[in-house]
Amino acid sequence: MQLTVYLAGQIHDNWREEVRLKAEEKKLPLVFVSPQTNHDRSDDIGEAIQGKQPSKLHKDDVASDINNFRTQVLMQKSDIVIALFGEKYKQWNTAMDASTAIAMNKPTIIIRPESLIHPLKELSNKANVTVETVDQALDVLSYIFE
């Protein structure tokens, strides 16, 4: 039984690559998908396709059309969602993706540092599992196949 896992969350380091490699080492039958992880590409995709926009607001709006399209396609194909929060930035897309997944009844794991316990408490409470490290998330995924 192969499962598809959507990896929501920050795109400022290579945590998704780490997840992929560790899943491979454990020989877990998992396929991973994710939002666009090239930050500039994600910000510029709207103008790249729709052409120059009249303001930053409009540039952002056309980019978000396409980013949301991608996320909706891939999340609907996923069996599981993992959302990783880091210490920097607002990360509202991560919160949005995790909340949407939970509302769609997708089994959801949150990864967040100890420092974020308090501000994430209600969202953590709605997710299935909250852990602090990628290794712990992989242990949870592994457990499905024991």
Question: What is the CB neighbour count within 10 angstroms for residue 27?
Answer: 9
What is the nearest approach in angstroms of a copy of itself to the Cβ of residue 58?
Answer: 7
State which residue, 21 or 48, has the beta carbon closest to a copy of itself.
48
What is the nearest approach in angstroms of a copy of itself to the Cβ of residue 13?
Answer: 18
Residues in 63-82 at the binding interface with a copy of itself, rule: CB under 8 A? 63-74, 76-77, 79-80
- 85 neighbors 79 (Cβ within 8 angstroms): no
State which residue, 15 or 46, has the beta carbon closest to a copy of itself.
46
Question: What is the CB neighbour count within 10 angstroms for residue 56?
Answer: 8
* Number of residues that make up the chain: 146
Query: Given candidates 22, 28, 99, 134, which one binds a copy of itself under the rule CB under 8 A?
Result: 99
